Chains A and B, each alone.
Chain A
C-alpha cells in the first residue's frame, strides 16, 4: 500500500492545473482509498439552457477514479495505466456547488474498482456511478 498522499501538496498541485481552473474543479480531500473534489459553477459549466454542470462533474469523477486508485498503489511494483470504464447516473439536476467523491471498492492486480457519488450543497446524493482503473505491474505480472 502506498503511504497516504500529502494532502496539502495534492491540493496545491491541483489548484495550478489549467483544466481544473477552466471547469471550476478544486481538490478537497484525499486519503487511503478515496479522493474528493469540489465542483463550482464557472462560465464553462454554469446553468444555461439546461444544466451542463454535469460535464465538470464527469471530469472530476474520472479524476477521483485515478487519485483514489493512486492511494492504493505499491509504488515499487505498480504504476497507473489509465481509466478503463466509467458510468454516472443522475437522480437530480446538478446545480450550485457539487462534491464528487470516489472510494475504492475493490483492488485486484490489474484493476481498481471505484464507487462514485456526486452530492449537492445540501449533502444529498444527486448522482452515483462506478469506474474501473487499470493498474500496470512493473514486473509485467510475472511475480
Chain B
C-alpha cells in the first residue's frame, strides 16, 4: 500500500491509529485493520466497544483502502458520505476489512465490514464515499 506513516503529512492518520491501538495490513482489493480493546475504545452499551469508535474505524478503514489504490498525485480531499449499520455489539479485538468498490474521476467508494477478532461475528457494515483531489491537468500545447 502507498501509506507511508513516516511521512509527516500522514501524522494525523498515524496519531489516530495509535489512539485506537490499530494496525494495518494489505489484503486483496483493500486493507485489514485490527483494533485492540483499550480504555480509549470502550464505552459502548454493556461495556462494549464504543459505537462512535466503530464509526470512525469504518471511515478510517475506507480511507486507507482507497489510499492504497490511488494513482500518484491523487489524494483524498475529504469524506463525502459515511453510512453504517450496527449489527451486534463489538466486545474485544475488532477487525475491519475494507475493499474498494470504485475509483472515479472525482469520487471513490469503499465498503467495510467489521467483525469480532475471535468469533468472526459481524459487528457492523458500512460504506465510505470520498472526494478525490487530482493534480491540475497540463494544457495541451
Within residues 18 to 72 of chain A, which ones have a CB less than 8 A from any CB in chain B? Answer: 18-19, 22-23, 42-52, 54-56, 58-63, 65-66
How many A-B pairs fall under 8 Å by CB?
Answer: 118
Within residues 66 to 86 of chain B, which ones have a CB less than 8 A from any CB in chain A? Answer: 75-86
Stretch of B26-34, B55-63, B97-105, B109-117 that contacts chain A: B55-63
A residues in contact with B75, CB < 8 Å: 49-50
Q: Are B45 and A80 in contact (CB under 8 A)?
A: yes
Stretch of A2-10, A87-95, A104-112 that contacts chain B: A87-95
Residues of B bordering A, CB below 8 Å = 9-13, 15-16, 18-19, 38-41, 43-45, 48, 50-56, 59-60, 63, 75-86, 89, 133
- Known contacts: A46-B12, A49-B75, A61-B52. The answer to whether A85 contacts B43 by CB under 8 A is no
Residues of A bordering B, CB below 8 Å = 17-19, 22-23, 42-52, 54-56, 58-63, 65-66, 80-90, 93-94
Complex: A37 Cα to B62 Cα, angstroms: 24
B residues in contact with A46, CB < 8 Å: 11-12
Question: Which of B10, B59, B76, B133 touches A58 (beta carbons < 8 Å)?
Answer: B59
Complex: A52 Cα to B12 Cα, angstroms: 7
Q: Are B82 and A58 in contact (CB under 8 A)?
A: yes
Q: Are B15 and A44 in contact (CB under 8 A)?
A: yes
Complex: A89 Cα to B80 Cα, angstroms: 6
- Known contacts: A59-B56, A86-B84. The answer to whether A22 contacts B19 by CB under 8 A is yes
